[in-house]
Amino acid sequence: MAVGTVLVAGGTGYIGSFTALALLENGYHVVVMDNLYNSSEVALDRIELICGKRPAFHKGDVTVEADCDKVFKAHPEIDSVIHFAALKAVGESGEIPLEYYRTNVGGTIALLRSMERHNVSNVVFSSSATVYGDATRFENMIPIPEHCPIGPTNTYGRTKAMVEDVIRDQVEAQRNNLKKAGKPFEHWNAALLRYFNPCGAHPSGIMGEDPQGVPYNLLPLLGKVATGEREKLLVFGTDYPSRDGTAIRDYIHVMDLANGHLVALNYLRDNKPGVRAWNLGSGRGSTVFEIINAFSNVVGKELPYQVVERRQGDVLDLTANPALANKELEWMTKISMEKACEDLWRWVSNNPKGYRQDPPAELLKE
């Protein structure tokens, strides 16, 4: 029996599609809404190939309230929303800030307004470790706990920090209004999930990240170097005060991350806690050179790179302290960064055109 029905906004994208899969595998019904700006419906075929179930799909734009209303009207059984739909390129966010505020902040407000009209009161939001900015500006804040002060250093990060505030205010206002109306137990509940660096692919090799444009994250770029699509990786700075001079990040397998959404949603439904923020990271930091080595080991050859200047806006260390999620959600990462490299390589080497080609037959037999 289904435990509930979840609207996954942005559910054909990278993290959304893996979360839709995890929800289906754990008894939820899933409705996906996406405008396919950075994804394709083929992701739903792959979900079905893996688990035998397919989410319902509505092409729609979260910034358009009528699109959101249409989905809630078509599925009155939806009781929760997981909201992934957003623009996410840090560099681009500084070039077209209005688009980022419109989509990320405006889109969330439209979705929340529509949720309110349809009495849906659980929301899980894709926030980002970027909201912390440079946590090394404080003493004892690495690894980063949730109480580290927020201080994003780029437009994208500011949209995420703003949405966190919008959601907090909405939950608080709802709670006060319901108290006045004598219905204190029907209040909204929200999880603000601050992801560190998502990576990896499904171990089957048939589902992974397939952005519409050029990738800019470290591991997808290394994938392109390994397949020969790119000549070399540019390493952004070797003058950081780290063990090898390169910057440190907390790489988390997308399946661990998807599972984090599942347990956060279960927690909201069971505990009705109001608003909670949780870091979703492993607690283990890896340098750029460590990632290059781990991925080279998987590929079985040295991957060419060239050291260049630091990238503007990059910080030394974004490693999570995941103790709160470990304790409250009983969640922790189970898949190593090395396994994420293996899974990523299986995905990119077998599907050079991503979802624009059928998966190799031998992978489907396994």
Least distance in Å: CB of 326 to ligand NAD? Answer: 19
**39 touches ligand NAD (CB under 6 A):** yes
Within 130-169, the residues that bind ligand WQD by CB under 6 A are 130
Reference 266, options 114, 164, 122; nearest CA is: 122
Site string for ligand NAD, 266-305 (x = CB under 6 A): ----------------------------------------
Q: Which lies closer to ligand WQD via its Cβ, residue 128 or residue 155?
A: 128
* Cα gap 72→82, rounded to integer Å: 13
Reference 233, options 218, 251, 211; nearest CA is: 218
Sheet of 29-34, strand order? 56-59, 29-34, 5-9, 78-83, 122-128, 189-195, 275-280
Among 51-59, 73-81, 310-318, 357-365, the segment contacting ligand WQD (CB under 6 A): 310-318
Q: Which lies closer to ligand WQD via its Cβ, residue 85 or residue 288?
A: 288
The pairing of beta strand 305-308 with beta strand 251-253: unpaired
Least distance in Å: CB of 127 to ligand WQD? Answer: 8
Cα Rg of the chain (Å, integer): 20
**167 touches ligand NAD (CB under 6 A):** no
3-state SS track over 269-311: HHHCCCEEEEEECCCCCEEHHHHHHHHHHHHCCCCCEEEECCC
Degrees (nearest 5) of the Cα angle 66, 68, 72? 115
Determine which residue in the list 85, 123, 163, 192 makes contact with ligand NAD, applying CB under 6 A: 85
* Cα gap 226→349, rounded to integer Å: 9
Q: Which lies closer to ligand NAD via its Cβ, residue 187 or residue 202?
A: 202
Known catalytic residue: 195? no
* Cα gap 340→338, rounded to integer Å: 5
Site string for ligand NAD, 103-142 (x = CB under 6 A): x---x------------------x-x--------------
Determine which residue in the list 37, 101, 236, 289 makes contact with ligand WQD, applying CB under 6 A: 236
In order, the DSSP letters of 161-185 are HHHHHHHHHHHHHHHHHHHHTT-GG
> Which of 14, 100, 132, 156 does the annotation list as catalytic?
156
**311 touches ligand WQD (CB under 6 A):** yes
Reference 268, options 214, 328, 228; nearest CA is: 328
Q: How many residues bind ligand WQD (CB under 6 A)?
A: 19
**157 touches ligand NAD (CB under 6 A):** no
Determine which residue in the list 38, 93, 114, 128 makes contact with ligand WQD, applying CB under 6 A: 128
Residues that bind ligand NAD (CB under 6 A): 10, 12-16, 34-39, 61-63, 84-86, 88, 103, 107, 126, 128, 195, 198
Q: Which residues are catalytic?
A: 156
